[in-house]
Amino acid sequence: MKKIILLFILTTTIATAQKSTLISNATLHIGNDSVIVNSFVGIKEGKIVLVADATTAKIDASAYEIKIEASGKHLYPGIIAPNSTLGLREADAVRASNDYDEVSGILPNIRAAIAYNTDSKIIPTIRSNGILLAQITPRGGLVSGTSSIVKLDGWNWEDALYKVDDGVHINWPRMMTRKYDEDGGLITTEKNKNYDKQTNDLIKLFADAKAYNSSANSEKNIRFEAMNGLFDGTKNLFIHADNIKEITESIIAFKKAGITKIILVGGKDSWLITDFLKENNIPVIVSKVHDLPERAEEDVDLPYKLPYLLNKAGILFCLNNEGGMEAMGARNIPFLAGTAAAYGLTKEQALKSITLNTAKILGIDKTTGSIEVGKDATLFISTGDALDMKSNNVEKAFINGKEIDLNNSQKELYEKYKAKYELK
């Protein structure tokens, strides 16, 4: 029995051991606005140990077991998908494959992490475009639940965890309700008659949770227990809101409730209140850039230039892909950044909006989000511009120094039918 256990330990150690790697001569996009046209990046034990200009630095290449020549290619930090249902939904039409929206309206204790499915067939297609980390987020109700951040590689949800239970998500009630026809066309917009009651219910919930967590209790309340981190600053509060009044009222209400770490998700009207957001130190996870404006009188390209408007005002922001075809469409996050670059941001600012900015907002920037010495070696090599859908071609990718498989079902089908019809 001892021999079997020892053999298992040895084989596991061999399987997980990571060889030191040197990537040479790539154009390095660090993720913090800086670029090294000809670079050295060294990886050991899952960490970045070397970042240098290959034209001037002298290094001992023999210290690395694997050497990757990347001349003419681009090296990027792994892209992070915030506010995502990756691994929580598979086929929208198959209810049993979707586990992102629980029954009931107030469920801060629901933990998205334990529902995360590492065997999702969607995840490998997302990794193929350089998305290597994701914030797995529940949906629905006034209080959706608690999100976690995962690596998009792992045997199970525990193996994939990067940061557990990072924050609670609330959907601030809409002031107006909308009715749609069967084809999704808008029929009417009416005032939400329950707005005051819904907002008062939320405010009372947080007041009760704060009182509960500030005193000893003989009986445990799992909803209030899940909210404790909001009051001691160890968890973020993610407010999902778009309308200007909804944004301001929600932030004021939760500031009064003693919440210190507030993040706005969506924020379509955020460009109208940048002074308010700066004053309250509120970062924004921006709505999908490939969208239409909220109002007929707004510029049709307003969603495209919203990142530029926030950046110009000095607001910390990142990009997300919430909306239709959300999980599978997460592969387009680099192209959302590409659109933002076409509408005012520089290419490096756009890259930062899906890497380092995201890491800062989610509180993981000390270990990821950019290619800097001491951080996790989560990065990828592309033969073209990662933000350009025409030239993006991820050739190699690493998560915590481990090279991951970039094959997926879509690539397999492509090769299958290319061979069948003898296409070159």
Question: pLDDT band at residue 136, thresholds of 50, 70 and 90?
Answer: very high
Global confidence as pTM: 0.93
Question: pLDDT band at residue 186, thresholds of 50, 70 and 90?
Answer: low
List, for residues 318-348, the tens digit of each pLDDT value. Answer: 999 998 888 999 999 999 999 999 999 999 9
> 76 near 386, Cβ under 8 Å?
yes
Quick check: 182 pLDDT over 50?
yes
Question: pLDDT band at residue 155, thresholds of 50, 70 and 90?
Answer: very high
List, for residues 228-246, the tens digit of each pLDDT value. Answer: 999 999 999 999 999 999 9
List Cβ neighbours of 241 (8 Å cut-off, separation of 6 or more).
Answer: 171, 172, 247, 250, 264, 265, 266, 267
| Averaged confidence pLDDT in the chain | 92
Cα 293 vs. chain centroid, distance in angstroms?
23
User: Quick one: CA dihedral 188, 194, 196, 199, positive or negative?
Assistant: negative
Quick check: 15 pLDDT over 60?
no
Question: pLDDT band at residue 2, thresholds of 50, 70 and 90?
Answer: low
Quick check: 76 pLDDT over 70?
yes
Q: What is the CATH number of domain 80-370?
A: 3.20.20.140
Rounded CA gap, 417 and 150, in Å? 33
